A and B are shown apart, each in its own frame.
Chain A
Amino acid sequence: MIVSVASGKGGTGKTLVATSLALSLKDKHDVQLLDCDVEEPDDHIFMKPSITSSEVVSIPVPQVDEARCTYCGKCAEVCAYNAIAVITDKVLVFPELCHGCGACSYLCPENAIKEVGKEIGIVESGNADGVKFVHGKLSIGQPMAPPIIRKVKEKANKQGVVIIDSSPGTSCPVVEAIRGSDFCLLVTEPTPFGLNDLKLAVETVRKLDIPFGIILNRTGVGDNKTEEYCRKENIPILMKIPLDTKIARLYSQGIPLVKGIPEFRNDFLGLFDKIGDNT
């Protein structure tokens, strides 16, 4: 079973929920935590995993053999990303624009293009306190997160419980992270920013046809419009976490909520039961 944790707005508590849910379930289930926020992966700060394997993620980019090339321009014509250009007697490749689709090398009439791997990040796996841990890290200056997210997700063992922590937003990295989940937890806070971005996140999970529920974090500030919205849309609020400086301080120190305040473990076990009822 795959449970993903997402949010439109950043900083609403995805990492807090993903890490505490993993730690609460580990005695009862075979639990894997996949940190798919490969731009800013933070789960390791809380889980402190011992990393046992590391692999480089590359995407295939074209390399042109100019001895064979006739500068016919076919590669530039078929590239949808303008990642390859032909000017009279020269071929220019812009690897940072390349999506690695393979069209240029396959369609080159002279067989002059081969693909070489370009490193865009790494995937690391290990163990953390009885939880199997995997995360990906996008290299600095690289734009494309989805190929790394796909690599992290290849490690998923669907026989157990797989918890996926996603990046904020609603565009391609989020879609890549939560696609194929059995359930998605949307974490939000009761403020106008939280609500605006929650609505976008709800549209996203609905478009992907993933069952979902809400975790309302930092209750006690803001307004009650998020709860009104959930009631009207018939979206279940599965858990509430109060605004509490003690929780914020634990977070600031990199201590998972259920380790700092063990009573929360029951809330997360209850949350998991509710997820079961809603899938």
Chain B
Amino acid sequence: MKELVVLSGKGGTGKTSIVGSLAAIAQNKIMADCDVDAADLHLLLDPTVKEEYEFWSGRVAVIDEEKCIQCGLCQDLCRFDAISDTIDYFKIDPIACEGCSFCSHLCPVEAISMEDNLSGYWFVSDTRYGPLVNARLGIAQENSGKLVALVRQQARKIAENNKLDYIISDGPPGIGCPVISSLSGASLALLITEPTLSGIHDLERVLQVCNHFGVPSLTCINKYDLNEDNTKNIEDYCLKQGVAVVAKIPFDNVVTESIVQGVPVVEYSEGRVAVEIRGLWQCITETLAS
């Protein structure tokens, strides 16, 4: 069983549209949406939720006003500026609190307790393309990396039990905690970029992250004809880095139209975009097999 994770560094380069299409093309696979704070893959796959679970993670400090002697030690030592003193008592800002529990350990009168925190939900669904595991991190919650790890773990379990060949993961943008959590230990990363200076800059950083964690990668240039000079620069850069550019997808409004219709673009149109994405999946399977 092989696990492909689709990343980009920069947001909005087309990760989800492409994963939606790969879901429609690939056989014997499961999809995992590892973008847990702005998940969109379900909008293309039209899932029927079979199982829903709560995700409890991290804790939040709570001060018992009755017990508090207002010594201010907690406020002095909190590194996250999460404790404010209002007119006559100390108060925790649950959004700023990182759940370290330092304050609860040092409070001389044990007035601070740590409460469990419902951070989000995760789901196992059926789609007409196969099973999907996705999640929704609560608003302004932490621990997105842990929720991503949970989504991947569940996807792997289902893949093993059902003897599936592939896990196809839609990754989050950026290079930080949820990206690292989506990437580490995957078989292959597909990096979606666009021929803009921002796209190139962000590709370079996410590629370094892949190298750092020892995950091999392939690149796909989306909307390549938007700026063919930049496309050439990306190809040169990838050649130098030893990363294959396996697809160049043209800019075409059919992609947006297919999203509005809520279907993967390969099922909406058999034009140039679809042809290129089918070729992309071919290259991915060959790379994964080798």
Contacts and interface: CB of A to CB of B under 8 A. Distances in A.
B202 to A, nearest CB: 4
Given A106-B106, A141-B212, A253-B197, A204 B140 contact: yes
B13 A171 contact: no
A9 B175 contact: no
B287 to A, nearest CB: 23
Contacts of A94: none
B75 interface: no
Nearest to B253: A221
Interface stretch (A20-28, A193-201, A228-236, A258-266): A193-201
Interface residues of B, number: 65
B139 A207 contact: yes
Interface in A12-40: 12, 15, 37, 39-40
A62 interface: no
Contact of B226 (A40, A192, A248): A248
A140 B79 contact: no
A208 B177 CA distance: 22
Contact of A168 (B95, B173, B226, B257): B173
Interface stretch (B21-29, B35-43, B124-132, B158-166): B35-43
How would you classify the secondary structure of chain A's contact residues: helix, strand, loop or mixed? loop
Bin chain A's interface residue count: 35 or more
B198 interface: yes
Contact of A208 (B12, B95, B141, B256): B95
Nearest to B105: A78
Given A192-B260, A207-B140, A253-B197, A197 B40 contact: yes
A11 interface: yes
Nearest to B102: A103
A99 B98 contact: yes
Interface of A: 8-12, 15, 37, 39-40, 42, 45, 78, 80-81, 99-103, 106-107, 138, 140-145, 167-175, 179, 191-193, 196-197, 200, 203-204, 207-208, 221-223, 245, 248-249, 251-254
Interface of B: 9-13, 16, 35-38, 40, 43, 59, 77, 79-80, 95-96, 98-102, 105-106, 137, 139-142, 144-145, 172-181, 194-199, 201-202, 205-206, 208-209, 212-213, 226-227, 230, 253, 256-257, 259-260, 262
21 contacts: A8-B38, A9-B12, A15-B198, A39-B179, A40-B174, A80-B59, A100-B79, A101-B98, A141-B180, A144-B176, A145-B174, A170-B37, A171-B137, A172-B142, A179-B95, A191-B259, A193-B259, A203-B139, A207-B95, A208-B95, A253-B227
